[in-house]
Structures are given as C-alpha cells and as structure tokens.
Amino acid sequence: MDQLIHGRPYHEGEDGPIFRPCAPHSVLERLGDKWTILVMSHLAIAPGYRLRFSALKGGIEGITQRMLTRTLRNLERDGLLKRHYFPEVPPRVEYELTAMGASMLPALEGFTAWIRDNWPAIEESRSTYDGAKR
Amino acid sequence: MDQLIHGRPYHEGEDGPIFRPCAPHSVLERLGDKWTILVMSHLAIAPGYRLRFSALKGGIEGITQRMLTRTLRNLERDGLLKRHYFPEVPPRVEYELTAMGASMLPALEGFTAWIRDNWPAIEESRSTYDGAKR
DNA sequence: CAGGATCCCAACTGATACTG
DNA sequence: CAGTATCAGTTGGGATCCTG
C-alpha cells in the first residue's frame, strides 16, 4: 500500500520513494485547462453560485460556445457543477456549483493567493530566462 | 484598472464582471501538465529540496528523459527551481527548489488536501456520469 | 550521466455552420 | 438560447536515436 509523506501518496522503492501519476494531477489537469478557472471564478462570485449559460458566455472574454459547453460538461462530470435545464422556448439553462464545488473555493483561493503574491517574480524570471536564451 | 473580488481580478463590464485569461491560469497550466506535480512532490521531500537528475528520473514512474528535462526547464524558467551543473565526467546535475519554489508548497498542500478529501466523490461522480452517457 | 534532435500521434482548441 | 457537428490548426506527450 502507498504511504503518505507531506500529504502525498508514494510507493517505497528500493532506492527511495517512487511517485506515480496521481489523483491530484487529474484534478489539476482540469483546472489547468484554458477556461475552467474562469468559469469557476465567475460562478464563485455569482449569487447562489448560479448563472445561466449566456451569463457565463458573456462574462468570460474570448470563450466560444463550444469551449464553454465542454468546460461545463467536464465540471459537471466531476460533480463540481450541477446543470439545471428549463424546457422553455427559448430554453434556459443554469449552472450551479455543488456543495463540493463550493467547498473547493477556499483551497483554490489559498493557492491563487500565492500566485498573486508571486506572479511578478514569476514573470520576471520567465523574461530573464527567455532573454538569456537568445 | 481591474478590480479584485474573492481575490480574483476582473474587469467591470456593462452587464457585470468580465473575466479574462489570467495569471492564475498560466501557473495552473504548469502544475496541470503531466509531470510537474510529481517533480515538485519529489523535491519537496528531498533533503535540502535537492536531487540530481537521475534520482528524479528513477523516482517518477514512467517519465522519459525528454519529459523530465522539459518539466525541469519549465520550472526553472518560472524561477521555482535552480539548476546546479557540475562539469565532471560523467556530468552531474542537481535540481533544487528555490525559496519561491519552497514557498509554494504550503499553498499547494492546502489544495491537494482538498483533492485527497474529495477524490472518492469525484471518481464516483465521473463513473456515474460516464455510465449514464452509455 | 544528462541531455539534445527528430519524428509521430493523440488531444486540446478554435472557427464555422446548423438545430430543437 | 443553448447547444451539436464538422473541419482544421496547434500543442503536448512519447519513442527512438545520438552526443559531450
């Protein structure tokens, strides 16, 4: 069975710990895609953590219908989001963070806080690195 | 200028906030790629946050030389990692978390803690979702 | 030992057009 | 309004071979 160190699961090999592709990756992979964080952010500040499709589309600069749909489906699949469909004409669809989705916000904000604090240093490091390469 | 809400930068549009592709995304994109988290995890538990190339390669199951190199370069570019090259024969290279890299660990662990707690629910949601689709 | 250089494939993303 | 379908471009990732 895997052990835990610093909260990370690993397997004890002959020459030390061996890490494997893991659960955290499969969640970070979602959040790391192009639009997920913006969808989450928009829902995070909405009343009742709830918005309709057109509101999300209008509130995220540059997102296409196709990509918004895909992003929402992925979040729904993970259980972070619930889709509410109203069969009217024209149809109305609202998306709402689930309890689990909302429970992620504090942890996510803790992490994005670090990013905000360190973003200037990261940007500078990148441009220095890229500059030195040329 | 952009405002902040729940720690997130956004632009105030006519019909509410408008979110744009942002800094958090460009960092989460790194962490969301296939190997970065495993490299960070391995370094996080190493003495002095420091390991040589071969130790990282042996400690991460399935990673190829090429992908490890790319992952390390990306982290170095962001200033999270420092590369120490020793011109011996055969050459030895060690990688060490920078102060900024180490400062990310608590925030990252806060987030991965949430993932650990909710991973079973996420997995179940995914399989339910996928099952219903067929 | 620690990589760089190539080639290849799959997946993500986007633009556009169509529809219940 | 809220999608789906299709096509095309780009990127991520892996396999393999070569080198100081």
B73-123 tens-digit pLDDT:
999 999 999 999 999 999 999 999 999 999 999 999 999 899 999 999 999
Residue A1 has pLDDT above 60, yes or no: no
Q: Is the CB of A53 under 7 A from strand D?
A: yes
User: Are residues A4 and A40 located together in one domain of the fold?
Assistant: no
Classify residue B34 by its DSSP letter.
S
User: Are residues B27 and B38 located together in one domain of the fold?
Assistant: no
Range of the domain at A9: 1-31
Q: Using the Cα atoms of residue B97, residue A25, residue A34 and residue A52 in order, give the sign of their dihedral.
A: negative
Q: What is the pLDDT of residue B1?
A: 52
User: Are residues B23 and B69 located together in one domain of the fold?
Assistant: no
Among the listed residues A3, A7, A50, the one whose alpha carbon sits nearest the alpha carbon of residue B114: A7
Question: Which residues in chain A touch residue B61, judged by CB atoms under 8 angstroms apart?
Answer: 11, 18-21
User: Are residues B26 and B40 located together in one domain of the fold?
Assistant: no
The span from the CA of B13 to the CA of A72, in Å, is 22
Closest residue on chain A to B25 (Cα): A32
The span from the CA of B20 to the CA of B3, in Å, is 12
Nucleotides of D under 7 A from a protein CB: 1-6, 12-17, 20
Residue A21 has pLDDT above 90, yes or no: no
What does pLDDT average to over chain A? 90
User: Are residues A68 and A120 located together in one domain of the fold?
Assistant: yes
What CATH number corresponds to the domain at position B111?
Answer: 1.10.10.10
User: Are residues A52 and A106 located together in one domain of the fold?
Assistant: yes
pLDDT in tens, B29-82: 999 999 999 999 999 999 999 999 999 999 999 999 999 999 999 999 999 999
Mark residues 65-124 of chain A whose C-beta is closer than 7 A to nucleic acid strand D: 65-66, 69, 72-73, 83, 85, 90-93
Check A62 against B20: CB less than 8 A apart: yes
Which run of H or E residues covers position B121?
helix B99-133
Q: How many CB atoms lie within 10 A of CB B19?
A: 26
Check B18 against A60: CB less than 8 A apart: yes
Domain tally for chain B?
2
Mean pLDDT of A16-41: 90
User: Are residues B14 and B76 located together in one domain of the fold?
Assistant: no
- pTM to 2 decimal places: 0.92
User: Are residues A78 and A114 located together in one domain of the fold?
Assistant: yes
Q: Is B2 left (phi over 0), alpha (psi -120 to 50) or beta?
A: beta
pLDDT in tens, A72-101: 999 999 999 999 999 999 999 999 999 999
User: Are residues A66 and A105 located together in one domain of the fold?
Assistant: yes
Q: What is the pLDDT of residue A7?
A: 58
